[in-house]
Structure 1
Amino acid sequence: MTFKFPTAYTILFMLIVLVAAGTWVVPAGNYERVQSESLGKEVPVPGTYHSVDANPQGVVDVFLAPIAGFYNPDSYEAAAIDVALFVLIIGGFLGVVTQTGAIDAGIGRAMVKLKGHEKWMIPILMALFALGGSTYGMAEESLAFYALLIPVMIAAGYDSVVAVAVILLGAGIGCLGSTINPFATVIAANAADIPFTQGIGLRFFILLSGWLACVIYVMRYAAKVKKAPSLSIVADHSAEIEAQFRKESHDDSTATLSISQNIVLIIFALTFVVMIWGVSSQGWWMAKMGALFIASSILIGLITRMGEKCFTEVFINGARDLLGVAIIIGIARGIVVVMDAGHMTDTILHLGEQTLSGLPAVVFINTMYGIELLMSFFVPSSSGLAVLSMPIMAPLADFSGVGRELVVTAFQSANGLVNLFNPTFAVVMGALAIGKVPYERWLRFVWPLLLILSAIIMGSLSVVALSA
């Protein structure tokens, strides 16, 4: 019998079990916390770590964790139910749009116009997603784009991995090289007690060099797959993926769009434009974004005279297609629930505090980067990790002659890198589930790029630390 790598659901549940087991052996402890007026949240106080009574997580806690992950807000990030519901609504919206045939016909026409120039979609789209990541921390909202881009990339002769990489790596490198991202850079800088513009030059360099590395990497893979489809890392799943995402009309050079289909595509595009505007300038989150997609779905149904029964059926069927993604989001958040309940998070932070004290500048900043990599695995939320770690880690930089802005850059770079593959990050597992890319295949695809990006980050941090 050949070994088959477990599904994302099993991987995440096994991580819950491992973290629960850790609560039986890792000493329990907490930092004292005070309310920060600038952050509007409680932050840990340096030097106040103390042991607390252990709260080891048992079998019952393990099985409760995926449920609690949906609705139980922990110390560092909100509950997952809003994200899960948004994903289901997106599924319903896409089901309604697909029913009109507008996407199929539109992709068919787009492929005719792009014939021979499809590869340039990759750098352009990755730049747009990187812009979203760098300016407003585009993450969960990017889940709305996968079902749109995957059929486009398949019709262009690529595979679903290319589509996933364009969005996940594009937005991810933007977060990794955040310039003014309020959920990472601004919160971390405030917690470190420095202006958020301090160190922006280095972050901009990391953003541009990282984006270039990602573009070259993805374009090389895309060209290889287009030339020899059997070299795709999901070649054995290609028939299943194409059956879901690719329609015959995608290959029809004579595909035409009716007036109603043109209107549907305009509404479709405007919905995403309004979503981006709402998130970036109006403070929208999942509830308002979900309401927007519901309203757009109803409008499209009315314009195309779909009928109440047909509309309801296609919306529910579309939501059902993304049900697995919604479940993954709750399970992933359950890992953090178990960790916090077992009082492990602050213990790991305290270990980092002890390790960093008094190290030389270059050793300090690279060790800081390594510790933030570890912390990011357990606390994938950039804002959550900033509030948790920066009040403790940033002051330690003063004793090693390192600027606090370098600590902020190390934090956000580490968090951004880990969240390109982190199984505890719902965006990663949700994206792979939508694209039908097994987790181990994604690791096989992305690990060389992770080494390249890490070399860029550590080299940049070291050069600046030496020149300080």
Structure 2
Amino acid sequence: MLTMKKFEMPSAFTILMMIIIVVAVLTWVIPAGQYQQEDGKPVPQSYQHTAANPQGLWEILQAPIKGFYDARDIAFFILVIGGFLAVVMQTGAIDAGIGAVIKNLKGREQIMIPILMILFGLGGTTYGMAEETIAFYPLVIPVMLAAGYDTVTAVSVILLGAGLGVLGSTVNPFSTGIAAGFAEISIGQGIILRTILLIITEGIGIGYVMRYAKKVKENPKNSLVYEKMKENKEYFLSDESQESNDLNKSRKAVLWIFAITFVIMILSVIPWAYKFNITIFESLNSAIKSLPLVGPLIGDMPPLGDYWFTEMSVLFLFSSFVIAMVYGLGEKKYVDTLIEGARDLLGVALIIAVSRGITVVMNDGRITATILNWGERMLGDLTAISFVNLSYLFYIPMSFLVPSTSGLATLSMPIMAPLADFVGIGRELVVTSFQSAAGIVNLITPTSGVVMGALAIARLSYGKWLKFTAKLLVILMVTIMILLTLGTVI
């Protein structure tokens, strides 16, 4: 008897290589063209046809290589971030910090819900905290069950807390940073709207979870997993809950350095002089450089506001070294941890390379301008409000098809960002549309190891999770579209 093999979604690499092949075929069909450029942006209504340059097998094979070369600064930054986070996690500072919060709030679990969600949200908005949350489920679930809540509440505190932080990414290098890079804007552009988005959506999530938790505490029959509550308590409370490591002086110092690094990053990427005509950092930088001995010793360091991926790589690499020194990791342990962390994110760097290869084929095949011209003509009658909301709705199904946020950003931004120029809105709104749409999808997508791993640990079915989050997702989508609309007029 023949058995049907269960369909498995291809990996992101396979999907992206298939797109490269399709795009290469299109270079034989779509007319070639070009735009006049002004300040690196296409000039509206300046499109003209040019000689065709169809891409063959050799161009397909070399596209990921050229893509990696084109995106080398972003790819290297991702590897450095991986090493930095690995060094931080090696110290146990983040685990100890959150563990200390849980321990100090014992008996006041209702207050614990917003505090923990805010902490996880800060992790999500700054460095895309996702896989790192898995370690906290065995710690939080027993605490929540002992306080009279259920596993849905425990999962929500962590998964929604961090996930909504990622949705409202302010400086998250893995979504906002990469998208801004390929949109050819600073990561600091649009940070005010993204901060507002973060505060409002995280607030909505906290209110949603606390309302559900209160109902469960008042009457356990209100729990979506009421039939398993006794079984879950026996399972999760049978052993002593995991104790976190002590939050000693060294770990406190690591947390301070960790926080200061991200504060410097935020200050360094906001275009103070260029955008807001604030020259304090330029003046301070000039004063330091003019100091005898000190200036030459420091070297040609750029002022805050002029940093980009190369400078941010230096910042995080230096911070990882300082953290290792403060915590006393030792030279060998530090280097090994740094390399191991970079290795963990090598796949992300390679996805960026393959994704960028699509743009390489389009540009070399001279069809990018033609596709932009089609978009310009279609968007001619669209208002800015219509465009930004349609961009958001476009990115929701795309986030399912291309589950890698870095891959999707690399793939789409070279096309979507210039379209914003034709409509007359800032490219940062397209970046915000992308990250918020991907953030929504990543709360529920079954292709996410973070989502499915969390549900498996909590013994919570995927159907129950969808039922719990359904109303929240609708509220979030409406809220996001309202904020994007406001962003077009602010």
Q: Which residue type is aligned with residue 21 of structure 1?
A: V
Q: Which residue type is aligned with residue 439 of structure 2?
A: L
Aligned residue number for residue 434 of structure 2: 415
- 1:292-441 counterparts in 2 under 5 A? 292-303=315-326, 305-358=328-381, 365-366=385-386, 369-370=389-390, 374=394, 380=409, 388-394=418-424, 411=430, 414-420=433-439
Q: Which residue type is aligned with residue 433 of structure 2?
A: A
2-structure distance, mates of 1:17, 1:326:
18
Is the partner of 1:18 in helix, strand or coil?
A: helix
Q: Deviations over 1:309-337 (max 9, x none)?
A: 44444443444344434433433444443
1-structure distance, mates of 2:210, 2:56:
47
Give 1:44 deviation, angstroms.
Answer: 0.7
Aligned residue number for residue 45 of structure 1: 43
Q: Identity across aligned pairs (percent)? A: 26
Paired residues of 1:55 and 1:342 also in contact (CA < 8 A): yes
Give 1:43 deviation, angstroms.
Answer: 1.0
Paired residues of 1:69 and 1:334 also in contact (CA < 8 A): yes
1:122 and 1:212, CA in 2 relative to 1: closer, same or farther beyond 3 A?
Answer: same
1-structure distance, mates of 2:227, 2:64:
37
2:132 pairs with 1:112: no
2:35 pairs with 1:32: yes
Aligned residue number for residue 16 of structure 1: 17
1-structure distance, mates of 2:472, 2:366:
34
Q: Can you give the 5+ residue segments of structure 2 that lack an aligned partner in the other structure?
A: 142-150, 217-222, 229-238, 269-303, 399-406, 455-461
2:252 pairs with 1:265: yes
Paired residues of 2:137 and 2:158 also in contact (CA < 8 A): yes
2-structure distance, mates of 1:322, 1:230:
40
Aligned residue number for residue 267 of structure 2: 280
Aligned residue number for residue 5 of structure 1: 8
Give 1:31 deviation, angstroms.
Answer: 4.0
Is the partner of 1:48 in helix, strand or coil?
A: coil
Q: Deviations over 1:70-129 (max 9, x none)?
A: 2214xxxx753223322332254136424xxx5555444332223324321355247757
1-structure distance, mates of 2:158, 2:335:
29
Give 1:59 deviation, angstroms.
Answer: 4.2
2-structure distance, mates of 1:464, 1:312:
44
Q: Which residue type is aligned with residue 114 of structure 2?
A: W
1:171 and 1:318, CA in 2 relative to 1: closer, same or farther beyond 3 A?
Answer: closer
Is the partner of 2:41 in helix, strand or coil?
A: strand
1:385 and 1:56, CA in 2 relative to 1: closer, same or farther beyond 3 A?
Answer: closer
Is the partner of 1:278 in helix, strand or coil?
A: helix
Q: Can you give the 5+ residue segments of structure 1 that lack an aligned partner in the other structure?
A: 37-41, 131-137, 191-195, 232-247, 395-403
2-structure distance, mates of 1:320, 1:464:
38
2:253 pairs with 1:252: no
Aligned residue number for residue 84 of structure 2: 90
Give 1:263 deviation, angstroms.
Answer: 1.4
2-structure distance, mates of 1:229, 1:311:
47
If you compute each CA radius of gyration, which structure gives the higher value, 1 or 2?
2
Is the partner of 1:5 in helix, strand or coil?
A: coil
Is the partner of 2:37 in helix, strand or coil?
A: strand
Paired residues of 1:164 and 1:435 also in contact (CA < 8 A): yes
TM (normalized to structure 2)? 0.58
1:2 and 1:94, CA in 2 relative to 1: closer, same or farther beyond 3 A?
Answer: farther
Paired residues of 1:105 and 1:250 also in contact (CA < 8 A): no
Aligned pair partner of 1:72 in 70, 73, 77: 70
2-structure distance, mates of 1:447, 1:175:
25
1:170 and 1:103, CA in 2 relative to 1: closer, same or farther beyond 3 A?
Answer: closer
1:287 and 1:53, CA in 2 relative to 1: closer, same or farther beyond 3 A?
Answer: same
Is the partner of 1:357 in helix, strand or coil?
A: helix
Paired residues of 1:96 and 1:301 also in contact (CA < 8 A): no
Q: How many residues align?
A: 389
2-structure distance, mates of 1:371, 1:287:
30
1:205 and 1:329, CA in 2 relative to 1: closer, same or farther beyond 3 A?
Answer: closer
Paired residues of 1:275 and 1:292 also in contact (CA < 8 A): no
Q: Deviations over 1:105-160 (max 9, x none)?
A: 54443322233243213552477579xxxxxxx6xx624x4465543455222788
Paired residues of 1:69 and 1:333 also in contact (CA < 8 A): yes
2-structure distance, mates of 1:462, 1:96:
42
